[in-house]
Amino acid sequence: MAAGLLAGSGVLVGPIASAAPAAPAPTVATLDTVTKVTPRHLDLTVDSPAMRGKVSVSVLLPRDTSVSRSTVYMLDGAGATGAVSDWITKGNAVKFFEDKNVNVVLPSGGKGSFYTDWDRKDPVVGQPMWETFLTEELPPLIDRYYNGNGRNAIVGLSMGGQAALALTFRHPNLYTGAASLSGCPPVSGLLNEAYVRATVARDGGDATNMWGPIQGPNWAAHDPSLHLDKLRGKNLYISAGSGAIGPLDFTAPLDPGMSRQQQLFAASGLESGAYRCSLEFAVTLRANNVPATESFPLIGTHSWAYWSRDLPELWPTIARGL
């Protein structure tokens, strides 16, 4: 407005600035439904502004829910298609955590996403914003409703293993430790990027919509091997099998539509790639004096026959920070 007289004073004043528009109130996730599978196994739907819809999340509770406790987040691999996490249906998580004094949080629906915030909308995957959901929206809900104490660790397999380490270095104040099983932690470089792109493509997505063009800056921004100082002091566990087929592979349930030979070929090939990638990351950690617990067995494929046995192996490392 133009300069004028202040009413009743005869004093000339300058323009009165319009009040700045109020910042929009931050959007927060809300707990939509809770289904009690058992007294200690709950299936939630969370209404997530970041994900623009509802996300399915399972929660395993300890025996004593009266005291605050730490939380373990567990991420599936790229092939998970069920409404409930594969860690529950295939990975023996319910039984393993039966006597552990922690919350266990297991989201589902992350197929082909790398649990990251996508740059732009993909025709198949859409534009998930998993990182925002997992690091900003979900933890306050878990701490509020399930007595979490703010101390967290994160575990993932395959695609989820890479994500566990990426989320840890990108949010170092949120996690005390991370475990990667059969993942490809470093995503920079043509070979590692090709592995990630192939993983996303298996589920129909285009990783250019996830992190941008080949060797773009957003790939480096999600590469744990380029941000080691933010992993220093964390409780880290890195594991992958060599891809060599063992007796467990011949008794593992067959994936729908696959013969035993096809499943063996796929599981061996995927794991050999994860083995090379995980070993590269472990060597990088060693060279930079970042401690980690390593497990690189000579026999092991990309299969729940092996991952279901890994929980007891990784637990002592992860539990140190909880």
Q: Looking at residue 160, which CATH number applies to its domain?
A: 3.40.50.1820
pLDDT per residue as tens digits for the range 120-152: 999 999 999 999 999 999 999 999 999 999 999
User: Is the pLDDT assigned to residue 8 strictly greater than 60?
Assistant: no
Q: Would you state the pLDDT for residue 54? A: 96
Match 């800056």 to its residue by tokens.
Answer: 217
Q: CA end-to-end span of the chain, whole Å?
A: 59
Lowest mean pLDDT among 200-209, 236-245, 253-262, 266-275: 253-262
User: Is the pLDDT assigned to residue 65 strictly greater than 50?
Assistant: yes
Q: Can you give the residue range of the structural domain that contains 168?
A: 4-319
Token representation of residue 79: 């092939």
Q: Between helices 190-202 and 260-287, what is the axis angle to 10°?
A: 140
Mean pLDDT for all residues in the chain: 90
Residue 79 confidence class, pLDDT cut points 50, 70, 90:
confident
Residue 11 confidence class, pLDDT cut points 50, 70, 90:
very low
DSSP letters along 177-226, please? Answer: EEEEES------SHHHHHHHHHHHHHTT--THHHH-STT-HHHHTT-GGG
Q: Virtual CA dihedral for 300, 305, 309, 315, nearest 10 degrees? A: 90
Distances (CA, A) of 201 to 112, 121, 301, 321: 8, 15, 20, 35
Q: Would you state the pLDDT for residue 10? A: 34
The Cβ of residue 156 has, within 10 Å, a number of other Cβ atoms equal to 28
User: Phi and psi at residue 180, in whole multiples of 5°?
Assistant: -120, 120
Which residues neighbour 110 within 8 Å (Cβ) at sequence distance 6 or greater? 75, 76, 80, 128, 130, 159, 160
Q: Would you state the pLDDT for residue 141? A: 96
Chain-centre distance for alpha carbon 252: 25
How confident is the model over 139-167, as a mean pLDDT? 97
Token representation of residue 20: 């700045």
User: Is the pLDDT assigned to residue 257 strictly greater than 90?
Assistant: no
User: Is the pLDDT assigned to residue 220 strictly greater than 70?
Assistant: yes
* CA dist., res. 176 & res. 168, Å (int): 8
DSSP letters along 175-187, please? Answer: EEEEEEES-----
User: Is the pLDDT assigned to residue 14 strictly greater than 80?
Assistant: no
User: Is the pLDDT assigned to residue 18 strictly greater than 90?
Assistant: no
Q: Would you state the pLDDT for residue 26? A: 52
User: What is the number of domains present in the chain?
Assistant: 1
* CA dist., res. 168 & res. 202, Å (int): 26
Q: Would you state the pLDDT for residue 208? A: 97
Q: Would you state the pLDDT for residue 27? A: 65
pLDDT per residue as tens digits for the range 258-284: 888 888 888 888 999 999 999 999 999
* CA dist., res. 189 & res. 261, Å (int): 32
